[in-house]
Each structure stands twice: as structure tokens, then as C-alpha cells.
Structure 1
Amino acid sequence: MGLVIPLEEKAKDSSFDGLSGLVSADMERVNQTILARAASHVTMVPDVANHLISSGGKRLRPMLTLATAGLCGYTGAGHVKLAASVEFMHTATLLHDDVVDESDLRRGRLAARMLWGNSASVLVGDFLLGQAFKMMVEVGSLACLDVLSSAAAIIAEGEVMQLAAAKDTQTSEDDYLAVIRAKTAALFSAACEVGPTLAQRPKAEIAACRGYGMNLGIAFQLIDDALDYGGTSSALGKNVGDDFREGKITLPIVLSFRRGSEAERAFWQRTLEQGEIADSDLEAAIALLRKHRALEDTIERARHYGAMARDALELFPASEWKIALNQVVDFCIDRAH
């Protein structure tokens, strides 16, 4: 059986259109809020921030905040500022990540650090976090502030966990899943939890939205991990093989390392632990991942978490919001086809 991921990724945006259409009016307000709150009399701050903000991301996370608020019948205006806060948290994380990972590209463009330097990227990320928390306070919900501030701490812990696991081929699947739960899925989870929290819905509904976001976030990251070895630069918004070159231990590597021969494990140790990478090594790495079905099995794991995300929504009655949120799961998984 051939690879699930073709060399040219064809993201199925149609499964994203339902959500995009439902939240379009509110997203216009979110985008206006983002631009207004990224402004500063310090010229470099909006320059750096807008370089990433305007780079074409789908803004999935703030859309999830708007959608879960809609799912739970929220009728106020606070969800707009919370959605903007979520996007600022995400943007700040990206600015910081690119410095830590020494990445050159982000969303197909030069990373901010390549244009303004590492210090500016970190400090503007801090500014955006400050603006995010300012908006949370303005909304006036202590419960929502608790959800998002807790997520900010967990994300930072996830980054440190990933740093500690970098270049360690002994990383287990459980260890790796703990990293992505914190680093990636925590913000998805919080983005989905603040909607019903703001609407003051019962604990069961809040927990359902939180579970949906957590499982969706894990599925999303696992597909990203697979695409790093089987996608395209245009699809990824970064260079194919960046994880390999940076010595990142992701699930495809964990699976291939466990299933490999002594010689194959020595290859991973040389390239990832010792950083001795020859020109042909990325091609050899992809061949090993294919040999041991590591990419296909990573995608299967993603489908499993996607199914759990859908199950979490079963608590809610049928609605256009529920349909759209289920379609988002399809969109995240279908990026690998």
C-alpha cells in the first residue's frame, strides 16, 4: 500500500467553508480588533506583528472560539475580544517558536526573526501576550481569564518539554503526546472552552467543548508532523524536512526508531542526536519512515483523535454550528490527502 500523503498536498478547503461562513461577520470584527490592538507608537512593534498577522493564516483558533460560543447560544460581544486574545497568544507563540527553533520561514515568508532579529521577535511576542491579557480583563469574565492564562502557562511548559526532548531518540510515544498536548492542543482546547464558559453553560457542555478542542489539537499536530516529511513547502508554510534538520523528535520518528534495525537506529542517532546530516539524509529518512509505515500510522493516530473530537460534540443537539465544527475535524485530517 502506498503512502497516504502524496508529494503535492491538496488541502480540502471545502470542509473549512462551513465554519468560515458562519463566523464571517464576527471574524471581521476580530480582524479589526487584531489590527487595532497590534498598533503601537513604537514603530517596530506593529511592523513585526503585522508581518506575521497579515501572512495568510486561516485563524482557525479564534474561529473555534466564535463557533463554540455560537454552539452554546452566546449572544453578547465578549467572544470577539476573547477570539482576538486567542489569536494573539498563537501569534506570540509562533514568534517565540521561530527564535527557539531558528526557523527561516513561517507561512511561506521569511520569519520575523530573519528580518528584525531574535530580540525583536521575542519582545513583540511579549507585547502581543500583554495585549491578549488586557482584552481578557476587559471582557470581565474571571472564568475565561483563568482558562486562557492557564493555557498560556501550559503552552510554555510544552515548549520547555520539547526543548528537553530535542534530539533524544529515546523519547516514547507517551512522552511525545504529552509535549503536543501542552504545546499545541492546550490552545485549541482553551479556544473552544472559553465560548461555553462565557455563555455560562453547564459544566458538561464546557467539558465537551474542552475535549473537542484538545483532541482536535492533537490530531492537527500529528498531521503537521506527517506533512513535514511528505508535504510541500507551500502547504506547510515552512521548508519540508525542517523538523528533521532541527533534530525534532516527532511521532513519525518515534515509530520508525522503535521499529528499525540497529543500523537504522544508528542513522537516527547520527542525524538527530549528533546533528551530522548529509545532503542525501532527508531522502534516506523519508525512505525509512515509509518502510516502517510511520507516516501512515501517524495519520491513523490523528484520525483516532479526530474521532474523539467528534464524539465530544455528541452532547449537543443538531445545529449548523455542530455540523461546521465536525467539518473542521475533516479539514484538519484531510490536509494529509
Structure 2
Amino acid sequence: MSSSQSPSFNFSTGSAGMLANAAKVLARRKQEKDRDFMRVYAGKHRGNLNSFRPVVGLKSNRCRGHQQPDFLWALHCALPGKCHVNPQTMSSADTKSGDSKRKHTRYAVSDDCRLKAAILLRSSDAGTASKDWPGTLVDVSTSGAHIQISLAAVAYKGDSCVLKLSHAGRKAELRGILAHYVCSARYSVCGVRFDLSFAGADKIYEPFLKTIVASSTLKAGETGAEAGRYREEYLGAGETKLVVWRDDKPERNLVAFDFAMARFGAALSGAGTDMLDNKARVAFRSLAGGGSSVLTKEQEAEARWEFSLAASNLPKTFAPDIRRLLRLVS
């Protein structure tokens, strides 16, 4: 359909509801015919949205599809290298690449996790290239990650990037490429595929990944009474286990816990109301060799680092008092 044939709407008058419905009807009618045309046209212009300005009035090639009426999405999605999703129909599945769906288990990162993340996008857009974009890590796997960043970032599928992770003084920089790039109404989601061929990259990433796996996979297990206390057990990947004890009073206050994480264990007995005192009394052990050896100062620092990260990434399905206690004493 040419620009002379396209219906015109006066967005300044009439009912907003009628205009929205008209746009949706138009989108459905135009979808099949126009997408075929636009894919061919977009391929010739290599993703330059300015060439479409006489038709739809878009002004740049930035990720601004969420600001356009519904009938523009067919055009916006047709551009090569872009993976845009209409925010009105976006679901969590839209942030998953085909590779991550099929091959690798992804482990959720809580939105209040202490793990900090940013991504360096090596985009061809001069205004935003080679800039660190802080964001919220969504999930991680052995081969990649998803991170939410500002809509101001400009990126394309296949762009090289560097995902930067940090927690309590430890940092990891992971090179990769954008497996996909999705825009919603509030943020952009980058799907990163790691390139772990660089020397030492996997070893730097390993402590972060193992700790996230240990904390995010915990699920409720057996419960029961023992020695005047109430016991709750949570099991995770591998040997990961969290056991908490509550008193036998009606309030069922937390009195102790034992958390076997990735490489270390952390335990507290006789928890009181003074959280600083509780934190000072948390005991650590190595899970290697049965956990009988005394930790060196360096190992204890590693154990505290792991506990701090794991305790901040407990599933939101956990009781709030468990998440609060472990976070405060870590």
C-alpha cells in the first residue's frame, strides 16, 4: 500500500477509543501484505528508518517503537537486526532467545539482588557507543545473560558487547554479542551470548554463576518439629540446602539457620533481636571435604562474599522473615 493509499487519522480530534480500535483494525488488515513489502524495502535500506519518513513519519533509528501507534509496529519490526515487541502484547517469553530456550538453563536474579550489572554496547550509533549502561540483571546461564537497560541505548542484534558484573569488590567482564534486543514500554532487554574463549573468562564468571544457581534454585522441602523447635528445609541444585528453625511459640520466630551454598556454608544458632550481634556470630565452613577444616582468613572472606550474594538472591516465594534475616546478617 502506498502512502497515497494509506488512511489518514486526525489524532487531535474524536474519541481516543475509536482511534485505537481503528488502528488495531488497520494493523490486522495490513499485516500480511505490508510486512512482505516492508521486509524487502527495509533490506534495501539496511535498517535506516529515516528512509521511511514519508510513509510513517519516524525520525530516527532509535528504539522508539513503544511511542508509536499500533499500526506502525509492523514496519518497526521489519528492520533487519532489530527485535522489537509491541509492549501491549509483550510477555516474559519475548525476552528469551531461541538458544536459551533450547540449550541452557537460565537462573533468575532477584530485582533486589546485590549483584551489580552494566553492559558496554559497541553500537554504530555514535551518541551511545562505548558507554556503560547500568541495568538490572534478569537471569544468567552458563553461556549468557539477560539485562534490562535504559530505552536511551541504541543496539542491534549481532553487536559486540561486554557484560560487567560486580559485587563486594569482585568484578567480572564478559565479552559477547547481542543475541537479541527487545524494547518494551519501560526498558530494553539485552540478550547476551558470552564468548568465553578468552583466557580465564570462565574462571572469573564461575563464582558469580555458582552462587546465583545455589540461591535461585531453592525450593521448599520437608518440615517438622524437633526438640521443641519447628524445622523447615529448602533444597536447591546439587548439594545446596537451607534449613531454618523456628521456636514453638505461636509467632514461630526464626531462631537459627544453616545454609549450604556453592562452595561454603553459613550457620547461625540462637538468633536474637540484635542483628549486628547476629551477623558477628555467623559461622562459616568449607563444603569441600565435609566442611571439617578451619577456614583461613582468605577463605573466610570468600565465604562472606558468597553468603552476601546468595542471601540477597533468595526466591521471592520465601517467607519474608527468612529473606530479611539472611539479608541482614550477611
Asked if Structure 1 and Structure 2 have the same fold, meaning a TM-score greater than 0.5 normalized by the shorter chain, the answer is no
Larger Cα Rg: Structure 1 or Structure 2? 2
Structure whose residues are more often helix by fraction: 1
TM-score range, shorter chain: under 0.3
Structure whose residues are more often strand by fraction: 2
Greater RCO (Cα-Cα under 8 Å, separation 6 or more)? 1
